């Protein structure tokens, strides 16, 4: 089994609780950070501000956006393939 297949199998076990065990207490969220170029960060913050106004919310944080992106990435095979293609050219 390739290392990618091993990771997919482990991720599936974690997602359905088999890796942690059914009686394990819930785990704390895992912190992830990302470093962005200043211009990209400024554009993201502007987008968050515009989106907050459009949604009628006080604010939309970059954390909100990243969580939504990860949810979409893991649920949408077409998006996952598009991101994989983008990573391949970087």
Chain segment 61-86, per-residue pLDDT in tens: 999 999 999 999 999 999 999 999 99
- Residue 21's pLDDT band, with cuts at 50, 70 and 90, is low
43 found inside a domain: no
Three-class DSSP category at 27: coil
Q: Read out DSSP for 29-83?
A: PPP------HHHHHHHHHHHHHHHHHHT-S---HHHHHHHHHHHHHH-HHHHHHH
Q: Is residue 66 part of a domain?
A: yes
Q: What is d(CA 20, CA 13) in angstroms, rounded to the nearest whole number?
A: 8
Regarding pTM above 0.85, the answer is no
Residue 71 structural domain: 59-90
Q: Is residue 67 part of a domain?
A: yes
Report the domain count for the chain. Answer: 1
Task: State the pLDDT confidence band at 19, using cuts at 50, 70 and 90.
Answer: low
Domain contains 70: yes
């Amino acid at each position: 089994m390739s290392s990618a297949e091993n990771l997919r199998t482990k991720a599936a076990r974690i997602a359905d609780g088999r890796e942690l065990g059914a009686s394990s207490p819930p785990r704390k969220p895992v912190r992830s950070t990302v470093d962005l170029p200043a211009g990209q960060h400024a554009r993201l913050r502007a987008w968050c501000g515009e989106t907050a106004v459009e949604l009628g919310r006080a604010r939309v944080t970059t954390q909100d956006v990243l969580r939504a992106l990860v949810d979409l990435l893991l649920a949408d095979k077409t998006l996952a393939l598009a991101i994989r293609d983008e990573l391949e050219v970087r």
